[in-house]
Each structure stands twice: as structure tokens, then as C-alpha cells.
Amino acid sequence: MAKLYEKLASQIPALRTEMQALVKEHGNKVISEVNIGQAFGGMRGVKGMVCDTSVVDPDTGLVIRGIPIGQLANRLPEEIFYLLCTGELPDAASLRTLQEDLRNRAQVPAYVWDVLEAMPKDSHPLTMYSTAILVMERDSEFRRRYSEGMRKEEYWDSALEDSLQLIAKLPTIAAGIYRMHTRKGNRIPSNPKLDWGADYAHMLGIPDPTGEFANLMRLYMTLHCDHEGGNVSAFACHTVGSALSDPYYAVSAGMNGLAGPLHGLANQECLNFVLEMREKFHGVPSDEQLRQFSWDRLKSGHVIPGYGHAVLRITDPRFTAFHEFGARVCPKDEVFSIVANIFRIVPDVLKEQGKAKDPWPNVDAISGSLLYHFGLTEFEYYTVLFGVSRALGMCAQLIINRALGTPITRPKSISTAWLRSTANAGRTAA
């Protein structure tokens, strides 16, 4: 793990010094206040943790290490992992070293396949994926070295080692789960000549005569890699990792957060929404039919999947990147056309309804339609794709947190009775 390891090793002392100086000189400076609405409201907007890999700005969207995601759309996921970890894009030699390193670690232990094959056939693919990550925990270098008395300054080094082992194997595992779950036939061996994203596409076995499916997978892996620290999966991973549970435990926990319909499962729900519409109207609905369908869904108490966001207040730039890809590669595809029409109509419907703070599409509103176009139609599987990509961000965050010696997460919870008496006393909740 030469270059990435060396780069991090050269950066970490300065990061520690900066963090220590900030805490020493400004440790008591207030950066956030919390009111009762936020305490009951998922802590939305409360600034209480640090994440340097990426920032989600309400008006810009995802910015990775200072670079807006739209400017990174043509980069390989391996480059993005290097960027997430170090704050710099790799030069050609560093990229090559990282790719070779991942290739050398890609062999999945046989026991992983034994466990997956023993699972009930109707297990959700994400359950299989999270299980596969967890079962490899027996090989954790972090846990082995911790039990031997590893020094705190060395935590990041074995977190990096575990992360590289994981990231190298995830495409093979995820593709194997796809073949198994969809009964598509035997697993397809990795092609060591391909980059990480293209090899994943190859192992899925989706016919790709034009090479555009491989391009889509690279783009997918790049766009979903990270979304700062407070989203459900990142925060779950962060919290478990903060107890010094090793990266296998932490990343598996993060994946379980992705299973929720309000988070990672949303892309599956989005495609369902689009396909329901196509079935009902026997093709692409008229604008009026689409508007009415959306209103009916809202009136029945359901959300419009793929629209709204806890932080964003604009069209998600990841949606825009996928939209550009679809407009280039499959502009006439029926499902893509419905997605594009929803984008023209639903924001106004949501604005008129007046509930969602963000009436604009997030990435999940579109990603499924492109996968569907290429014949990856098993949308139960889509969260796994998300999970392969998001492992890059989770691992980068873990490595940095172990480098900085981030302590165990332990926010203070308060009871409703305490809030009631605080409110009645006329004081602002602390």
C-alpha cells in the first residue's frame, strides 16, 4: 500500500496538530445551539461532529474535499477514494499503485461464499452484502493488532489496511450476490485488466457491447461515494467505529442503515413509482396524468420518492450528472423519459403542497432508470450498488477518525419530562 499509505503518513501529524490547536485555543467557542424541535426532529441542522471527506452544502450539493461533485463525474472511483482520504487527486503513479494494490487484495475468502449460499434464497441482497462484510471480520488487522496492544497513533494504519482489504473485495462480493440472488448463473471471474468500477460491471454480467454500462457503473460508484458525516449510514458507521470496533463491524453497521426506505432504499422505491406510472398509463403518461398521479400519491399519505432532502435545497448535482448521462446515452428510453418528465412536473406539485422543504430531486430519483435501461432490472439489488460505492466514504471517514484519535461518540439524550420542565420554566433548552 505504498503511495496512499505514504501520503497519509506525511499528512497526519499536521492534521493532529491543527485539531489539537483548535481545541486548545477555541475549545469553548459555541458552534451550534439546539432547540426542542431539533431534539425531537432527528437533530436536523445540529453541528456536533467533524467530517473532512466531504461537505453537503444546501445550495451547492456534494463537495468532495473542496471540489463540487459535478467536476468529478469523469473520475474513477479509485481516484475518488484517494481524494476522500488525502484531499488530493492521485497522480498517475499513485493511481496505478492503488489499483494494483486493490487487485492484489481482491480474492474473496471461500467461507464468504459458503455463508452467502447458506442464507435463505429470499434474503434481501443488502442483508447478504452486510453479512458478507461482517463475516470477514475474522480477518481484521485492526482487531488483531489492537489485541496485541497497538499504540493509538497506529490505529489509522490498520484501519487503512482493513479498508483496502474490504474495498478490494466488495465488487466481487456484490457481483456474486447479484448472480446468486437473480439466479443468473455462475459467478463471473474478475478481469484484472479492468479498473475497479468496470470490473464490477463485468462481473455483474450485464451485456455491454458499447461499454456504456461500464461507464455508468464508474459514474454510479463516483457519485454515491460519500455525503458528509451525519447521514444515517455514515453516522452509524462513525458511531460503531468510534467504539474502536474494527472497520468490518463499522462498515457493516453503516450498510444496515442504507436499508431504510428513507435512505438507501429510496432508489428502489423511486423506480417502483416510475414503473407503476408506466403500467397504469401503458407507457409515458401525459403531463396531466403525471401531475394527477403524483397528487393521488401525496393525498394517500405517501412521499414522492427521490424528491426532497434533509440538507439539500437544490436539484442534487448527482441527479444532474445522471440526467446528462441519460440524455446522451438513452434519451428515448421510456423509463428515462418518465423520470425526465417527473423532474419537469413534480417540483411544482411539491411546492404547491407546501410541506417538503426541498421540492427538488435527489440522486435516487434517476439512478434506477439508467440501471433499468441496461437490463439491471432487479431493483431489490440497487441498494447494494449504493453500498459498494458508499463503502469508499465510510472507510475514508474511519481512517481519518482513527488518525485523529476521535473519541467514542456519546451525545447527551434528555427525557421528555426534562424538556417539559425546561420549557415550562421558560428557558431555552441547552
Site for ligand CMX contains 370 (CB under 6 A): no
Q: For the segment 228-247, give every residue that binds ligand CMX (CB under 6 A).
A: 231
What is the nearest approach in angstroms of ligand CMX to the Cβ of residue 386?
A: 8
CA distance 336 to 330: 7
Active site residue 323: no
179 lies in the binding site for ligand CMX (CB under 6 A): no
- Give the integer Cα–Cα distance in Å for 113 and 199: 19
Catalytic residue among 52, 139, 263, 333: 263
Pick the closest to residue 258 from 119, 389, 164, 358 (CA basis). 389
Q: Which listed range, 22-30, 31-39, 100-108, 351-359, lies at the site for ligand CMX (CB under 6 A)?
A: 351-359
Among 158, 364, 396, 397, binds ligand CMX (CB under 6 A): 364
Q: Which is nearer to ligand CMX, 21 or 262 (CB)?
A: 262
Residue 139 cell numbers, joined: 480477518
Residues in contact with ligand CMX, shown as a per-residue x/- string from 187 to 226 under the rule CB under 6 A: ----------------------------------------
195 is catalytic: no
Q: Check residue 357 for interaction with ligand CMX (CB under 6 A).
A: yes
351 binds ligand CMX (CB under 6 A): no
Per residue, the 3-state secondary structure of the chain, as one string, reads CHHHHHHHHHHHHHHHHHHHHHHHHHCCCCCCCCCHHHHHCCCCCCCCCCCCCEEEECCCEEEECCEEHHHHCCCCHHHHHHHHHHCCCCCHHHHHHHHHHHHHCCCCCHHHHHHHHHCCCCCCHHHHHHHHHHHHHHHCHHHHHHHCCCCHHHHHHHHHHHHHHHHHHHHHHHHHHHHHHCCCCCCCCCCCCCCHHHHHHHHHCCCCCCCHHHHHHHHHHHHCCCCCCCCHHHHHHHHHHHCCCCHHHHHHHHHHHHCCCCCCCHHHHHHHHHHHHHHHCCCCCCHHHHHHHHHHHHHCCCCCCCECCCCCCCCCHHHHHHHHHHHHHCCCCHHHHHHHHHHHHHHHHHHHHCCCCCCCECCHHHHHHHHHHCCCCCHHHHHHHHHHHHHHHHHHHHHHHHHHCCCCCCCCCCCHHHHHHHHHCCCCCC
Distance in angstroms (rounded) separating the CA atoms of residues 167 and 284 = 39
When asked if residue 358 is in the footprint of ligand CMX (CB under 6 A), the reply is yes
Half-sphere exposure of 248 (CA within 13 A, CB side): 20
Q: Name which position in 216, 225, 266, 275 contacts ligand CMX (CB under 6 A).
A: 266
Among 124, 144, 263, 313, binds ligand CMX (CB under 6 A): 263
State how beta strands 54-57 and 61-64 pair.
antiparallel
Does position 305 interact with ligand CMX (CB under 6 A)? The reply is yes
Among 362, 367, 383, 389, binds ligand CMX (CB under 6 A): 362
Minimum distance, C-beta of residue 313 to ligand CMX, in the bound complex (Å): 9
What residues between 9 and 28 interact with ligand CMX by CB under 6 A?
Answer: none
Q: Which of 224, 227, 238, 309 is catalytic?
A: 309
Q: Does 391 bind ligand CMX (CB under 6 A)?
A: no
Instruction: List the end-to-end C-alpha distance of the chain, in Å, as a whole number.
Output: 46
Q: Which stretch binds ligand CMX (CB under 6 A): 186-194, 215-223, 308-316, 419-427?
A: 308-316
Stretch that binds ligand CMX, among 90-98, 120-128, 161-169, 297-305 (CB under 6 A): 297-305
168 vs 225 by CB, closer to ligand CMX:
225
Integer Cα distance of 325 and 323 in angstroms: 5
- Is residue 202 part of the annotated active site? The answer reads no
Work out how close the CB of 122 gets to ligand CMX at its nearest, in angstroms, rounded to a whole number. 25
Question: Which residue number, 37 or 331, has a Cβ lying nearer to ligand CMX?
Answer: 37
Q: Does residue 309 bind ligand CMX (CB under 6 A)?
A: yes
The least distance separating ligand CMX from the CB of residue 268, rounded to whole angstroms, comes to 11
Residue 285 vs 347, nearer CB to ligand CMX: 347
Q: Which stretch binds ligand CMX (CB under 6 A): 31-39, 130-138, 299-307, 321-329?
A: 299-307
Closest separation in Å from C-beta 355 to ligand CMX: 4
CB of residue 353 to ligand CMX, shortest distance in Å: 7
Residue with the shortest CB distance to ligand CMX:
308
**Does the protein bind ligand CMX through residue 254 (CB under 6 A)?**
no
Integer Cα distance of 175 and 385 in angstroms: 9
Can you give the binding site for ligand CMX, defined by CB under 6 A? 231, 262-264, 266, 298, 303-310, 355-358, 362, 364
* Residues annotated as catalytic (active site), given as ranges: 263, 309, 364
